[in-house]
Amino acid sequence: MKQNSATVPGKIASTLAMALVLAAAPALAAPRPPVNLLPPPAPVPAATPVPVTTPAPVSTPATKPVPAPAATAPATIPAAPASGAAGQPAPQIVPLPPVPVVEPVQHWTLADAQALLATIMDIGSDGLIPADYKPDALRATMAAGEGAALDELASKSFSWLVEDMRDGRTPMDARVQWFAVDPDQDAHPTAAIMAEALATHDISGTVASLAPKHPDYAALKAALAKTPAADTKGRALIRANMDRWRWLAQDLGVLYLMTNVPEFQLRLTANDRIIRTYRTVVGKPGRTATPQLAEHVEAVVFNPTWTVPQSIVVGEGLGARLAGNPAAAARQGYKVTKAADGTITVVQQPGDSNSLGRMKIDMPNPHAIYLHDTPAKALFNAPSRAFSHGCVRTERAVELGMTMAILGADLKPEDGVAYATSLKYTRVKMTKTFPVYIAYFTVAQDITGKLTTFADIYGRDAPVLASFEKPRELKTAQRTSSEAIIKLDNPL
């Protein structure tokens, strides 16, 4: 059903109340605030935003916009750029060369080596493969007693075990479209972990402490324990999805958004407890498949503009048609400009027919992926919802934007109502950092808490499963997929 400005206040009344409860909830008042889980990006010269005129919305005669507050508007809300872009450019991912990692060597006693061997033999309960960590060679070396040979082999086996428990066993080339940088190896380097394990003589406990903290990992581990050895396919799929949790940060934060692409659901989560869920529409298989990311919310945009990509402006002739008929362009909600070199820019103005709908969550990234509303609400009723050009369309998006703005920028509810219903571009910059995870799990707990198998809509299971059938590969410094970054800037 079409959502217009006249119906928004009534629909979001309960949402605002819910958001205020969330804002005061003890879970969100914990001493540890939400943190940015991404490592610092490579230095990129900062661009200074240039104030420009807010684009004029296309009025709808049947609606009466509520005027936005004037003097009381938060100072963090600048005017919108005419191009529809907002703020600074997205940070660029600078891939590191895939050179082997340097593994430490420390002194091992026979007792600690024996504890390491026992830990290796039990690591199958975490979905890893004991043979990867050379238990037979470790036994033989232990028989020869302490010394340089034991120090070298035990250190290597322990390092490999740490790397796989902390970062995942799957090599990077098998993680298709994986661009979520895991910061754990920066926060917990292997040498420090080994030193702690040897100082405390708690090899097993130290390794176990590296497991993902999310409840889904524990659920998968329990499922693996219950799955018969004869069910090789079922066990392999569980192992693959356990490993996917290790690709993410061990601690996801106090408050975060996570969408599991094959489930077509977005979660607002506090202390790993689901607070609110939203159905999603994700990218179509192929070039427009949604990549996996770990970003953070920079701003909430109410009534966004959308700069139509040149693939449509030029490739589909939209620019030429609209430039030759200004009245039609205005009637359809487009602003058309033509540069001196002949380049035509088409910007869709705010309104119910805007391709981004009435809300966009700005989470700068090189892929131009974000969460946004859509005028095509009927698609949320489809059982399988892979229809977009990469971005994640979100059900009840205005509600989500309101909630994030209240929690992340201390936005007053009455101001939020005014911004959402004004039909004017308004960007609310966050004052708190909230991570956003776009993940891909084919076995996971659904939004009701039931462990469920989801369709592998992008065929991303096969390379992970294949990697577990091969000998373990040595880790390298590579942190994300080496695939080309595709800027998926077409939400249609």
Chain centre to alpha carbon of residue 211: 20
Q: Are strands 344-348 and 334-338 parallel, antiparallel or unpaired?
A: antiparallel
pLDDT for 315 equals: 82
* Bridge partner list, 265: 260, 279
Q: Rounded to whole angstroms, how far apart are CA atoms 115 and 109?
A: 10
Q: Rounded to whole angstroms, how far apart are CA atoms 296 and 430?
A: 10
Q: Rounded to whole angstroms, how far apart are CA atoms 223 and 445?
A: 11
Q: How many helices (H) and strands (E) does the chain have?
A: 15, 14
Q: Are strands 386-388 and 392-394 parallel, antiparallel or unpaired?
A: unpaired
**What's the full length of the chain, in residues?**
492
Give one word for 317, left, alpha or beta, with left for phi > 0 and alpha for psi -120 to 50: left
Distances (CA, A) of 406 to 111, 180, 253, 269: 55, 27, 18, 15
DSSP collapsed to 3 states, 317-341: CHHHHHHCCHHHHHHCCEEEEECCC
Q: What share of the chain is helix, strand, coil (3-state, %, to 5)?
A: 35, 15, 50
Backbone angles phi, psi at 14, to 5 degrees: -70, -30
CA 38-181-276 angle, 5° bins: 65
Extract the tokens encoding 51.
């104030």
Sole residue written with tokens 């070396």: 141
pLDDT for 44 equals: 33
Question: Quick one: which H or E segment has residue 220?
Answer: helix 215-226
Overall fold of domain 9-19+63-94+252-439: L,D-transpeptidase catalytic domain-like (2.40.440)
* Bridge partner list, 296: 435
What is the location of CATH 2.40.440.10 in the chain? 9-19+63-94+252-439
Query: Which pLDDT tens digits describe the chain residue by residue (492 residues)?
Result: 444 443 444 455 445 545 544 543 444 433 333 333 333 333 333 333 323 333 333 333 333 333 333 333 333 333 333 333 333 343 444 455 678 888 999 999 999 999 999 999 999 999 999 999 999 999 999 999 999 999 999 999 999 999 999 999 999 999 999 999 999 999 999 999 999 999 999 999 999 999 999 999 999 999 999 999 999 999 999 999 999 999 999 999 999 999 999 999 999 999 889 999 999 999 999 989 999 999 999 999 999 999 888 878 888 888 889 888 888 888 889 999 999 998 999 999 999 889 999 999 999 999 999 999 999 999 999 999 999 989 999 999 999 999 999 999 999 988 998 999 999 999 999 999 899 999 999 999 999 999 999 999 999 999 999 999 999 999 998 989 989 887 765 554
* DSSP assignment letter at 347: E
pLDDT for 397 equals: 96
294 three-class SS: strand
Q: Mark out the alpha helices in 227-323 (DSSP H runs).
A: 232-247, 310-313, 318-323
pLDDT for 73 equals: 34
Taking only Cα atoms into account, the Rg of the chain, rounded to an integer number of angstroms, comes to 25
pLDDT for 18 equals: 55
Q: Rounded to whole angstroms, how far apart are CA atoms 94 and 375?
A: 35
Give one word for 409, left, alpha or beta, with left for phi > 0 and alpha for psi -120 to 50: alpha
Extract the tokens encoding 198.
């040897």
Q: Rounded to whole angstroms, how far apart are CA atoms 158 and 408?
A: 41
pLDDT for 71 equals: 32
Burial 203-241 (b: 16+ CB within 10 A, else e): beebbebbbbebebbebbbebbeebeeeeeeebbbbbbb
Residue among 309, 293, 254, 333 nearest 33 (CA): 254
Sole residue written with tokens 């940015």: 36
Q: Rounded to whole angstroms, how far apart are CA atoms 272 and 258?
A: 10
Backbone angles phi, psi at 79, to 5 degrees: -70, 155
Q: Rounded to whole angstroms, how far apart are CA atoms 16 and 11?
A: 10
Q: Rounded to whole angstroms, how far apart are CA atoms 436 and 427?
A: 18
